[in-house]
Amino acid sequence: MSTERTLILLKPDAVQRSLRGEILRRIEAKGYGIVALAQRTATAEELSSHYAEHEGKPFYQPLVDYMGSAPLVAIVAEGEKVIEGFRSLAGATNPTSAAPGTIRGDLGREWDLPVIQNLVHGSDSPESAAREIAIWFPEVG
């Protein structure tokens, strides 16, 4: 097996609800290493690059607006099968249907908003991870 990297974003709802420590604890408890970590408010350029494949979809602008509305935490995590493993740890996109034991299942809330506030993002493939890491942490490459 080879070690891989993924981008994880703790979204504004996770930061606003002071869940950074709990989510990081779960990532590290799973055995993944933290290569880079930064809390900041995302720029319009970062968000338009990150969500480029969704441009033109009805949820695109509300998502970009939400993600830029408050600080988030960007993380590069590393480990064996970290992409698949973190996505499993995160749980289903909708917190209401996410399984207990997952980040979204245990900690997520469903809001009747233009965008589901589901605490975290994780890259969905090695190609996405490389593209996303380059956006958020160009120095890590």
Residues of the chain falling short of pLDDT 70: 1, 112, 141
54 is catalytic: no
Residues with Cβ within 8 Å of residue 93, at least 6 apart in sequence: 104, 116, 118
* Binding-site residue ranges: 11, 59, 87, 93, 104, 118
pLDDT value for 141: 67
Q: Which of 67, 121, 122, 135 is catalytic?
A: 121
* Binding-site residue ranges for ATP: 11, 59, 87, 93, 104, 118
pLDDT value for 13: 95
Contact 42, 2 (CB under 8 A): no
Sign of the dihedral defined by the CA atoms of residues 119, 71, 131, 79, in that order: negative
Per the DSSP assignment, residues forming a β-bridge with 34 are 77
Q: Where are the domains of the chain?
A: 3-136
Alpha-carbon distance 58 to 9, whole Å?
A: 22
pLDDT value for 109: 86
CATH 3.50.50.60 fits 3-136, yes or no: no
Pull the structure tokens for residue 103: 């980040």
